[in-house]
Amino acid sequence: MFLRLLPLFKEIRTFKLEEDVHVVRCSRERSRAAWKVIEEYLMPFVEQERYKISSGCRLHPDNDLYRDQEQHKHHLDINEWRCGYCRKNFYEEKYLDKHFDNRHFDLLNTSHSRCLADLCGALHCDLVMDSSLRKTKCNPAAAARNKHLCESLADSCFPVSKGPVSGRLHEFFLRQFCDAHTCSGGPKPFPKGQKNRTSMLYISLSVLTLMLLPLFYFFIYLYQRGIKSGSQELKRISLSGRKKKSF
């Protein structure tokens, strides 16, 4: 009887071990690279068109398994990273990543597959990662597979039938990401380049500058007026002194 139950005990033990070490088959590093590509080479153009990506699109932030944890990273200094959940500090980002895996694993929504790293082939993640990871030889089968994935993203995220704005973004996505998936020496990835997203900090500083600029010129005016009136007062005192001496 015991021998019959032994395989079952082994299976339960193996499952518990995997739970203890929190096995997640989704590369955090490549997911981060994919989001970097989306944020720098796609979203500024989407925002320019005032288009909202639906949650059903795999490029939507809600479909990034690590998005919430990444937003709880605070890079305070060159060698100082802070966990936004428990405010613990780390010297390097990789140690903060391990901390998330060990201490805040329960905050990941693993109920369904949302691994942004799976889209790296379509999004050319290797171009924004360590150059040593880039492939030097083009694989036609892989290029065709990545192009198919890329085109499916364009179709699902920017349906042509949704309207002219979605149609323009569909065409843009094909040119920006999909056309480069070829081994025949075609166009390079991201031919449209990237646009800097206007941050709230930049907007706030601009507004503050515009508000303070009139005050600055007003103080300059008062300062110059004070110098002018002071010089006139000195001149008047000097003239009155000369008159007294003449008597």
pLDDT tens, position by position, 148-201 = 999 999 999 999 999 999 999 999 999 999 999 999 887 899 998 876 544 444
pTM for the predicted model, two decimal places: 0.69
Q: What is the pLDDT of residues 207-234, one digit of tens each?
A: 667 777 777 666 676 666 666 666 666 5
pLDDT band at 35 (very low <50, low <70, confident <90, very high): very high
Nearest CA-CA partner of 45 in 205, 190, 233: 190
Domain definitions of the chain by residue range: 204-242
Q: Rounded to whole angstroms, how far apart are CA atoms 89 and 66? A: 19
Q: Report residue 247 CA to chain centroid gap.
A: 82
Determine the 3-state secondary structure of 136 from DSSP.
Answer: coil
